[in-house]
Amino acid sequence: MSPKKRRRLYFAAAIVLASGGAAWLTLSALKDNVIFFRSPTEVTALHVQPGVTFRIGGLVTAHSVSHGSGAEIRFTVTDNRVTVPVVYRGVLPALFREGQGVVATGALDEAGTFQATDIMAKHDEKYMPPEVVDALKKSGEWQKGGGS
Amino acid sequence: MTGELGQLALCFALALSLVMANAGILGARDINATARRIANGAAMGMTVFILLAFGALTYAYLTSDFSLRAVANYSSTAQPLIYKVSAVWSNHEGSMLLWMLVMALYTGAIALAGRGGERLTSAALGVMGLLAAAFLLFILFTSSPFLRFDPAPFEGAGLNPLLQDPGAAVHPPMLYFGYVGLSASFAYAAAALIVGRPESENWARAARPFMLVAWMALTCGIALGSWWAYYTLGWGGFWFWDAVENASLMPWLVATALLHSALATETRGAFRAWTLLLAILAFSLSLIGTFLVRSGLTTSVHSFASDPTRGFFILVLIALAVGGALALFAWRAPTLKGGAAFEPVSRETALLLNNVFLVAACATVFIGTLYPMALDALTGQKITVGPPFFAVTFAPIFFALLALVPLGPRLSWRKGDLKEAIKPLYPALGVAALAAVVVLAVASPRSLAGAGAFAMAGWLLVSSVIEIRKRRGARTAAFAAAIAHAGLAVSLLGIAGTTVWRSEALVLVGPGEKLTVGPYTLRFDGVTDVDGPNYRGARATIDLMDGDAVKAVMHPEQRIYSAEGQDVSVTAIRTTGLRDLYLALGDDRGQGRWTLRAYVSPLAPLIWLGALVMALGGALSLAGRLRARAPEPKSAPAVALAAE
């Protein structure tokens, strides 16, 4: 084999090994780390298992917000069909309001309460998370121009 | 008047860019000396007209000329001067003109410097002309910043408050100097394919200063963006792996690979085709990044009111630029001459590994960023891939790359000796092992990842010092690489410190209550209302205690800008240079009680300091290049070697 061919071979082998390795890493990581978005209706319809991390989005149900001990806060998320209780311990975004859209990341516990680890902090009063808009459209509860 | 002048200047610039595209590409043929002169003249003319247009727009902002729609929508008379200026590029129209301005400056520099010979310069100008024409058409037809508003309002709507911040003001121009700078190396790569040998052999050397400037600007731009996110978003994090950040990281990774690969092409004639491909890829990724960020596919302060025709236009532009360049590559690359042979242990192999790792790292970011969007577009299934995905894909690849960094520069070209290369680095290995042991013994919580990161940083840092000592007295360019590599180590220390050993307290506090976070004791003294010029806010007073005495007072704030309907958290950060105490005020829970987030982030400032050190390395390399510009005494033996 000429040195040139040998070099080409190394080059090709390195690329194949590296891209193979990267592809394997990526695929296995995707399998374990994809976080799905679910509307409240989907949460019940799909029987999402406790402990599985996902994002839930909908409207904060009117008059559902109550404060627990410490920084704990309880409220429910609804798409006006199904309502899911949420518990969150943390700082709420300043524009978190009853009747407004919200997206939370977390998992259900055994009792069916969504334990949120993160409430999406959107910085805009007029902004409605696109996922929430879609979820409301699916449940037929979307009114253009407002989430209130 | 200024509006019309600006619009007219843009039209002239468009005409000149078309002339430049034609003449430049014609000038690639040896006999067309006149075409080359025309291309040069057109390049200078276009640069002047773009400067005029940008000047006209800036003047309109400075004088608050609300008869221009873009000024009325994004500026107001109450804004401080600096934000009147930064408002110019705070919106889609203005930012596209800024993009064009930067492109014009690079075009002017290519024409003036004339690197790589007349024919190569001419062809590069031709490609720049094509790109400039495409962007000017885009600006004139879909996003002119000079549109009028009738009747003109009394007062403008004002700049997005999140962007009224020095970091946010400087970040876009920095990033654009990076993105657009990659268009210069793209133009040289395409030019090399157009002119063919022997002129094409010079392209990597000719494009080097542009690559360096682009890389430095990208490095600083990304660091600024990350720093801004750190102190404004109130989450204590410095990198969130969101699509907007990833869009700037991908071109950086490929540009870094390009800098290294171009070195092998320039000195040894190795990887000719691969380096060309990387130059094309780097600019393609900056176009794709711009598209992702601006098209409204992602929601953030970056996605300006989107308009489907714009997104479509940019997509067509990407397809033409990338497709055209790749077609040219497929057609002409086989005519490139292969480089000199090298052994498996050599500088070439080290650079090859560098490229493989960087491109693989970029691929993981690409998949993590685009897969969710593709899935949403195709199936409507909405997913996100968060930091855990990147922690298991990007991090190990980058870690493997870092381990090899000190070895590369110590291996000789063609045939290196691994043992000889490592021997002087024994102290670095010793320090690395020591760092790991000390971190495992002392730091709590005990963290294997943290120990690994410190060992790696020690290995990189001490090797860099050894390298710099060895090269003392040599040309600045010689140890520029060592300095840039040391910057990596500094950033790594900061990243490890904040990620592994950050202490966090999330508490509900009432007036007079105390809390501890890390080594600090804090006392909450309550919240007062503040009325700003265009916001209402709550300002907390928090004492940093030293026993019973008050050592310092901090004031994190929570603001709501009512006109814009925006909520902005103003964090209070107290830094020792090696450790940040970071406070963010949360929400009002009644009876004077508020939630409060407090973080102690060890080594956090090093993250951005490291980026500065990297950029400094780039600057030294550039300075060395420009000083040693005249004849090419160093390259003569290299060419002789390459010809073997």
Predicted local confidence at residue B351, as pLDDT: 92
- Closest chain A C-alpha to B351 CA, distance in angstroms: 11
Nearest Cα neighbor of B490 from B393, B617, B576, B619 is B617
Q: How confident is the model at residue B51 (pLDDT cuts 50, 70, 90)?
A: very high
Cβ contact A90–B506 (<8 Å): yes
Tokens at B394, concatenated: 């990007």
Task: Burial-class residue B610 by CB neighbours within 10 Å (0-12, 13-18, 19+).
Answer: buried
User: In which residue are the tokens 């509900």 written?
Assistant: B508
What pLDDT is attached to residue B19?
A: 97
Return d(Cα A25, Cα A19) in angstroms, integer: 10
What's the gap in Å between the CA of A148 and the closest CA on chain B?
A: 16
Residues of chain A in contact with residue B349, where contact means CB-CB under 8 angstroms, are 10
Contact B268, B642 (CB under 8 A): yes
Give how far B360 is from chain A: nearest CA, Å: 6
Closest residue in chain B to residue A24, using alpha carbons only: B393
Which chain B residue has its CA at the smallest distance from A128's CA?
A: B299
The answer on pLDDT for B548 being more than 90 is: no
Report yes or no: B103 and B128 within 8 Å, Cβ to Cβ.
yes
| Contact (CB, 8 A) for B382 and A131 | yes
- Pick one of 3.10.450.50, 1.10.10.10, 2.40.50.140, 1.10.3720.10 as the CATH number of A36-138: 2.40.50.140
pLDDT one-digit tens code per residue, B84-126: 999 999 888 999 999 999 999 999 999 999 998 899 999 999 9
The pLDDT value recorded for residue A121 is: 53
Beta-carbon separation of A30 and B381 below 8 A: no
Q: What is the pLDDT of residues B149-158, one digit of tens each?
A: 888 888 888 8
ipTM tops 0.90: no
Provide the pLDDT for residue B602.
93
Task: Give tens-digit pLDDT for B249-261.
Answer: 999 999 999 999 9
Provide the token pair at B315: 């997509």
Q: Between A37, A71, A134, which is nearest B383 by CB?
A: A37
What is the residue whose two structure tokens read 């773009």?
B50
Instruction: Pick A94's closest partner by Cβ from B381, B384, B567.
Output: B567
Looking at the partner chain, which of B234, B384, B566 has a beta carbon nearest the beta carbon of A35?
B384
Q: Tell me what the pLDDT averaged over chain B comes to.
A: 88
Mean pLDDT of the B27-53 span: 94
**Secondary structure of residue B569 in the 3-state scheme:** strand
Q: Kindly state the tokens that stand for B232.
A: 């404004």
CA distance B392 to chain A (A): 7
What's the gap in Å between the CA of B586 and the closest CA on chain A?
5
Would the pLDDT of B571 be above 50?
yes
Select the highest-mean-pLDDT range: A29-33, B413-417, B597-601. Answer: B597-601
Query: A134 and chain B: CB distance < 8 Å anywhere?
Result: yes
Q: Given a cut of 60, is residue B632 above it in pLDDT?
A: no
pLDDT interval class at B552 (50, 70, 90): very high
B26-30, B299-303, B437-441, range with the lowest pLDDT: B299-303
Per-residue pLDDT tens for A83-119? 999 999 887 776 687 888 888 889 999 999 999 988 8
**Predicted local confidence at residue A141, as pLDDT:** 66
Q: Which of B306, B337, B392, B559 to mutate to test the interface with A (most CBs of A within 10 A)?
A: B392
Beta carbons of B177 and B221 less than 8 angstroms apart: yes
Contact status, residue B24 vs residue B39, Cβ threshold 8 Å: yes
Can you point out the beta strands (E) in B281-329? none
| pLDDT band at residue B635 using 50, 70 and 90 as cut-offs | very low
Chain A, 78-117: which have a CB under 8 Å from a chain B CB? 89-96
pLDDT the model gives residue B91: 86
Mean pLDDT of B233-260: 90
User: Measured between CB atoms, does A24 come within 8 Å of chain B?
Assistant: no
3-state DSSP assignment of residue A1 = coil
Q: Is the predicted pLDDT of residue B625 greater than 90, yes or no?
A: no
Residue in B347, B393, B394, B524 to test binding to A, most A beta-carbons within 10 Å:
B393
C-alpha atoms less than 13 angstroms from C-alpha of B146 in its C-beta half-sphere: 23
Q: Which residues of A touch B396 (CB under 8 A)?
A: 25
pLDDT of res. B235 = 78
Find, among B175, B204, B208, the residue nearest to B189 by Cα: B204
CA dihedral of residues A25, A27, A33, A37 (deg, nearest 10): 160
pLDDT one-digit tens code per residue, A1-54 = 576 677 778 777 877 887 788 778 788 888 778 888 888 998 988 888 898 889
For chain A positions 51-80, those within 8 Å of chain B (CB to CB) are 55, 67, 70-71
Distance (Å) from the alpha carbon of A3 to chain B's nearest alpha carbon: 6
Report pLDDT digits (tens) over B59-70: 999 999 999 988
User: Residue B529: pLDDT band by 50, 70, 90 thresholds?
Assistant: very high
Q: Tell whether omega for the bond before B533 is within 30 degrees of 0, i.e. cis.
A: no
Closest Cβ opposite residue B363 in set A22, A92, A95: A22
- B358's CB contacts (< 8 A; 6+ apart) are B253, B254, B256, B257, B260, B401
From the CA of B475, how many Å to the nearest CA of chain A?
32
Runs of H (alpha helix) within chain A:
3-33, 40-45, 130-138
What pLDDT score does B633 carry?
41
Q: Which domains does chain B have, with CATH numbers?
A: 1-164 (1.20.120), 170-323+345-404 (no CATH), 503-604 (2.60.98)
Q: How confident is the model at residue B631 (pLDDT cuts 50, 70, 90)?
A: very low
Q: Which residue has the higher pLDDT, A5 or B421?
A: B421
Give the pLDDT confidence score for residue A125 in this predicted structure.
46
Range B297-307 average pLDDT: 55
Structure tokens at B565: 């309907």
**CB neighbour burial string for B204-236, b if at least 16 within 10 angstroms, e if fewer:** bbbbbbbbbbbbbbbbbbbbbbbbbbbbbbbbb
pLDDT the model gives residue B643: 37
CB burial string B357-379: b at 16+ within 10 A, e below: bbbbbbbbbbbbbbbbeeebeee
Residues B162-220 pLDDT 10s: 788 888 889 989 999 999 999 999 999 999 999 988 788 889 999 999 999 999 999 99
Q: Which residues have a Cβ under 8 Å from the Cβ of A144 and sit 6 or more positions away?
A: none
Q: Which residue has the higher pLDDT, B525 or A94?
A: B525
With beta carbons under 8 A apart, name residues in chain B contacting A96.
587
Domain boundaries, chain A: 1-34, 36-138
H-helix or E-strand containing B505? strand B503-509
Which of B333, B322, B31 is closest to B193 using CA atoms?
B333
Judge whether B414 and B343 are in contact, CB under 8 Å.
yes
Q: Which amino acid is at A59?
A: L
